[in-house]
Amino acid sequence: GPKYTTEPWAQAGFNGGDGVVFEMLPHSRTQDIVKLVSESNVNVPGLFVFRTDTETITEGGCGNGSSSSVYSLRPRIGSQLGLTSLNIQGPCYNMTTTLKCQFGSYGIVDGIIINEFRAVCLTPFA
């Protein structure tokens, strides 16, 4: 587990709540902790992304082979009348990324890339 210190430097990170699995961000417990506001693992200063829903903590972001991953879909339910905005969170979208969403037998719709980490599809009429 993490070592304890009497140094006045902050630490940043998270743990799995089991006393075993944890991840500390770079510069934790050093005077360089102030550098975190200008660093990132996803090209957004001050933002660090990790996948924590499995037994193994993995680094998120671009360049790690996760470019086709979807981190979350919201909302989980929508109107049968269609046009519910389905927010898709994932890494490494760019303006040349082609996004298609298939809604079972109801059809395939074009998605819209909002930014590097978010895209949207509007649900079809059911």
55-105 confidence digits (pLDDT tens) = 777 776 565 444 456 767 888 888 888 899 999 987 678 888 888 999 999
Domain of residue 115, residue span = 72-122
Phi-psi region of 72 (alpha: psi -120 to 50; beta: other; left: phi over 0): beta
- Of 86, 18, 14, nearest to 49 (Cα)? 14
pLDDT (0 to 100) of residue 68: 55
Asked whether residue 4 is domain-assigned, the answer is no
Asked whether residue 3 is domain-assigned, the answer is no
3-state SS assignment for residue 105: helix
Q: Which residue has the higher pLDDT, 51 or 35?
A: 35
**Global pTM value:** 0.52
Q: Which residue has the higher pLDDT, 100 or 21?
A: 100
Name, in order, each residue with C-beta under 8 angstroms of 30's C-beta and a sequence gap of 6 or more.
Answer: 9
What is the number of other CB atoms lying within 10 angstroms of the CB of residue 34?
11
- Count up the domains in the chain and report the number: 2
Nearest-angstrom CA–CA distance, 13 and 41: 13
